[in-house]
Amino acid sequence: MRAGFVSLIGRPNAGKSTLLNRLVGQKLAIVSARPQTTRNRITGIRNLPGAQIVFVDTPGLHPARGKLSEFMAKTAERAVEDVDLVCLVVDGAEPGDADQLVLGPLRRHHGPVFCVLNKVDRVTPKSRVLRLIETWSRAHPFREVVPTSATDGTNCDRLLDLVVSLLPEHPPFFPEDATSDQPETFWVAEVIREKIFHLTHQEVPYATAVRVDELVERTGPECLYIGATIFVEHDSQRGILIGRGGGMLRRIGTAARLELEAFFGIKVFLSLAVQVRRNWRKDARALREFGFLLTS
Ligand SMILES: Nc1nc2c(ncn2[C@@H]2O[C@H](COP(=O)(O)OP(=O)(O)OP(=O)(O)O)[C@@H](O)[C@H]2O)c(=O)[nH]1
Ligand SMILES: [Mg+2]
C-alpha cells in the first residue's frame, strides 16, 4: 500500500482547485474565473487500488497585502512542508515568469517536485506546449513536467499514475470512504462564497466572508436547514449583495441551494443574512472568527 500528501501550489487562477476536483473526482474546492478564489488549505482524498493520495489545494502564491492576504500567502507557503510531493501548477495559456514567487517555496521542500502545465486545451499552436515544457524544465530540476487540462481531463490519469509511483509505502491516512477532512460547514460556506464570486463583481467577492451558523436536519417535511451569515466590509457592499428587492441575495441563495441539494440528496432550506463587519480583512479577531487560522 502507498499513501502520501501532495500539494498543489501556483499562481492565482492557474487551475489548482479545478485540478484538485478533477484528480479527486468530486467537487471539493470552489472555482472561479477570478484570481484568489481559494483562501484556505483544502484537502481532497483520492483512493485507488493500492494507493491513497491526499491532495492539498492552496491559495495562489501572491505578494501579501493585508492580514487576510498574509494568511493566504502563509497557508500556500506552508503547504510545501511535510508533504511527499509538490506539484507546481502553471497556467499554460498565461504561464508568467518562473520567478522567485513560484520557485521560492519549492526550495523549502526536500522531496520531488512536478511542474503541471495546465490549461493545455487553450495553448495554440500545440508546438507551444513543447516550448513551455522546455522552458519550465530549465527553470528548476522538476522530476516531471506534465501537460494537463483540468477542465477536459487531458493527461490527468497519467498525472495520477506518476504521483502514485512516487508515494512512499504507507498505510492509508484516512478511511477508504473519506474524500476530505474539512468539516461540512466549511464546504457549505465555500459553496455560498463561490456563487458570490460568480454573481458579483469587482471588490465585492473579495470583501466577502461566509459563516455557517446552523446546519441541522429537520423533519416534517424532511429537509436540511442551513443558516448562514455573509459578512461584507461596507454598507454599499451589503446593498449590492442584497440587490434591488432582495433579488441578488435570492439568486445567490438559489444557486447555492441547488448545488447543496444535489450534494446532500435532500431538500435544503437555506437562510442567508448579510452583515457589515467593517474592514474585517484587516481585523485579526474577525479573521479568527471566520476560520482563517494557521493550523501548522
Ligand atoms: N481552459 C481551461 N480552463 C481551466 C483549466 N483549469 C482551470 N481552468 C479555469 O481557470 C479558472 C481558474 O480556475 P481555479 O481552479 O479557480 O484556479 P486556482 O488556481 O484554484 O485559482 P485561485 O484559487 O484563485 O488561486 C476557472 O475559470 C477555471 O474554469 C483548464 O485546464 N483549461
Ligand atoms: Mg483555487
Atom of ligand 1 nearest to the CA of 30: 16
- Cα–Cα distance measured from residue 142 to residue 58, given in angstroms and rounded to the nearest whole number: 20
**Which three three-digit cell numbers place residue 256?**
447555492
For the chain, the structural domain boundaries read 2-166, 184-289
Name residue 199's amino acid. L
Average pLDDT score, the chain:
96
Pocket lined around ligand 1, Cβ cut-off 6 Å: 12-18, 31-33, 35-38, 59-60, 118-119, 121-122, 149-151
Yes or no: say if 242 and 248 are a contact pair by the CB < 8 Å rule. yes
Atom of ligand 1 nearest to the CA of 31: 16
pLDDT (0 to 100) of residue 296? 53
Q: Name the CATH code of domain 2-166 (choices 3.40.50.300, 3.30.70.2660, 3.30.70.890, 3.30.1360.170).
A: 3.40.50.300
Which CATH architecture describes the domain 184-289?
2-Layer Sandwich (3.30)
Give the residue among 73, 39, 74, 43 at the shortest CA–CA distance from 57: 43
Name residue 295's amino acid. T
DSSP state of 167: S
Span from the CA of 37 to the centroid of ligand 1 (angstroms): 10
pLDDT (0 to 100) of residue 220? 85
Lookup result for grid cell 455573509: 230
- Please list, in sequence order, all residues whose beta carbon lies within 8 angstroms of the beta carbon of residue 79, skipping any fewer than 6 positions away: 7, 9, 41, 56, 58
Span from the CA of 33 to the centroid of ligand 1 (angstroms): 6
Task: Specify the residue with its C-alpha closest to ligand 1, atom 1.
Answer: 119
Question: Nearest 10 degrees: CA dihedral of 35, 18, 141, 95?
Answer: -40
pLDDT (0 to 100) of residue 198? 98
Q: What is the pLDDT along the chain (296 residues), one digit of tens a residue?
A: 999 999 999 999 999 999 999 999 999 999 999 999 999 999 999 999 999 999 999 999 999 999 999 999 999 999 999 999 999 999 999 999 999 999 999 998 999 999 999 999 999 999 999 999 999 999 999 999 999 999 999 999 999 999 999 999 999 999 999 999 999 999 999 999 999 999 999 999 999 999 999 999 999 889 999 999 999 999 999 999 999 999 999 999 999 999 999 999 999 999 999 999 999 999 999 999 999 987 65
pLDDT (0 to 100) of residue 295? 67
Taking only Cα atoms into account, the Rg of the chain, rounded to an integer number of angstroms, comes to 20
- Cα–Cα distance measured from residue 203 to residue 201, given in angstroms and rounded to the nearest whole number: 6
Distances (CA, A) of 113 to 116, 121, 162, 243: 10, 23, 11, 46
**Which three three-digit cell numbers place residue 31?**
472555482
pLDDT (0 to 100) of residue 294? 79
State phi, psi for 228 to the nearest 5 degrees: -135, 150
Name residue 76's amino acid. A
- Cα–Cα distance measured from residue 52 to residue 170, given in angstroms and rounded to the nearest whole number: 9
DSSP string, 9-27: EESTTSSHHHHHHHHHTS-
> Ligand 1 test: best mutation among 151, 156, 191, 197, most atoms within 8 Å of CB?
151
Task: Specify the residue with its C-alpha closest to ligand 1, atom 27.
Answer: 33
